[in-house]
Amino acid sequence: AVDLLTFGESMVSLRSAGPLSAGGSLAMHVAGAESNVAVGVARLGHSVSWAGVVGADPHGEYILRQLRSEGVQVQHRLDTTRSTGVMFLEQRTADLTRAFYYRAGSAGSTLSRDDVDLALNAGARVLHLTGITAALSPEARAALAYAAERAAAEGVVVSLDVNYRSKLWTRDEARAVLAPLARHTDILIASDDELDLVASAAPGGSGSLGNDDAETALADELLGRGVSEVVVKRGAHGAGVHTAAGRFEAPAVTVTSIDTVGAGDAFTAGYLSALLDGEDVAGRLQRGTVMGAFAVSTAGDWEGLPSRDELVLLAATQSGAT
């Protein structure tokens, strides 16, 4: 069994240095929330497996090569009738990036229950899922629900990052599919504006509650449904966790932010790595925020993520040491 199994769609990302409408050079990278997490966890020294579908094209081969070269075990299916998904990541301004997807009907979107079954047969300590998979196609949605249910029944720790993508579906569509998944989830990870996609506000409505109280009400509802850790990402404000034993917060590590894409996945990789190491909740948060800081202060979705030895580089910054 591997330490971490994850599956989803990875794409070729074509990154611009400026406005796409002005043309110019594009740099080819691998993109995908789940493969970002896979690389992050693998770099920290854990055994990691990624499952997914790619087209029989150079784009798919590139994805497989990149993941393998990062030490990620790849369990892929080749779909010879469809193309690997592509996205453009436009650096529109220094502070603003925009994603444009060419992934509808892609090979990756055909991920099925059979693919997931094969991957799960090998066993894993932790299964990491994201809400993105449910937005890809009806079969991917069914595969996601099936995986969560099977893994939970087999005692695999199930981690779910809500990862709402407004370009793929509406909040109401996401809520209808993702909220029921919570009952198979041990570790629910969300940005602070995504919690209401998996939980409902307490009776009486959240309108009269402050943001903090509203978050606690939503987290309590999830804890009541069997989630053991409700992890909330707060960008430059760090992250927090709600558990039955109480609430924990960690500030962000102070760094120069140059590229925020992938910060959430990096955080998740750190959090799950610390979980695999048997760290307590505070230790998980700490490693998550360090990984998030690496992601935002380096270029690329995952390229700047640290090896185990390098973790200390930014952990030291946090405690003020040189």
Catalytic residue positions, numbered: 265
Window of 174-182, 275-283, 287-295, 311-319 that interacts with ligand ATP by CB under 6 A: 287-295
CA 317 → CA 89, 141, 257, 259, distances in Å?
Answer: 30, 41, 14, 19
10 Å Cβ neighbour count for 249?
13
Least Å distance, CB 267 to ligand ATP, is 4
Contact between 317 and 254 (Cβ < 8 Å): yes
Unique residue bearing structure tokens 């978050």? 215
Least Å distance, CB 113 to ligand ATP, is 27
Least Å distance, CB 58 to ligand ATP, is 27
- State the alpha helices, DSSP H only, in the chain: 33-43, 58-69, 113-121, 138-153, 171-178, 211-224, 263-276, 281-296, 311-318
Give how far the C-alpha of residue 130 lies from the chain's centroid of Cα atoms, to the nearest Å. Answer: 6
Structure tokens, 88: 């453009």
Cα 314 to Cα 256: distance, rounded to the nearest angstrom = 12
Q: Report how many helices (DSSP H) and strands (DSSP E) the chain contains, helices first.
A: 9, 13
Contact between 130 and 168 (Cβ < 8 Å): no
Cα 314 to Cα 291: distance, rounded to the nearest angstrom = 9
- 293 to 312: interface string for ligand ATP, x by CB under 6 A: x--x----------------
Q: Is residue 264 involved in binding ligand ATP (CB under 6 A)?
A: yes
Nearer to ligand ATP, 80 or 166 (CB): 166
Nearer to ligand ATP, 112 or 191 (CB): 191
Nearer to ligand ATP, 4 or 231 (CB): 231
Structure tokens, 24: 């110019």
Among residues 160, 113, 121, the alpha carbon closest in space to that of 137 is found at 113
Select from 32, 52, 85, 238 the one that contacts ligand ATP (CB under 6 A). 238
Cα 298 to Cα 274: distance, rounded to the nearest angstrom = 22
**Total number of residues shown for the chain:** 322
Contact between 191 and 233 (Cβ < 8 Å): yes
Select from 7, 50, 267, 271 the one that contacts ligand ATP (CB under 6 A). 267
Select from 262, 269, 302, 306 the one that contacts ligand ATP (CB under 6 A). 262
Select from 257, 298, 317, 318 the one that contacts ligand ATP (CB under 6 A). 257
Considering only residues 179 to 218 of the shown chain, the ones binding ligand ATP according to CB under 6 A are 191
Q: Is residue 38 involved in binding ligand ATP (CB under 6 A)?
A: no
Q: Is residue 178 involved in binding ligand ATP (CB under 6 A)?
A: no
Q: Is residue 292 involved in binding ligand ATP (CB under 6 A)?
A: yes
Q: Is residue 168 involved in binding ligand ATP (CB under 6 A)?
A: no
Q: Is residue 99 involved in binding ligand ATP (CB under 6 A)?
A: no
Nearer to ligand ATP, 1 or 316 (CB): 316
Helices 113-121 and 138-153 sit at what angle, rounded to 10 degrees?
Answer: 30
Q: Is residue 37 involved in binding ligand ATP (CB under 6 A)?
A: no
Window of 130-138, 168-176, 229-237, 309-317 that interacts with ligand ATP by CB under 6 A: 229-237
Backbone φ/ψ region at 250: left (φ over 0), alpha (ψ -120 to 50), beta = beta
Least Å distance, CB 305 to ligand ATP, is 12
Applying CB under 6 A, the residues found at the interface with ligand ATP are 191, 233-236, 238-239, 252-253, 255, 257, 260-265, 267, 289, 292-293, 296
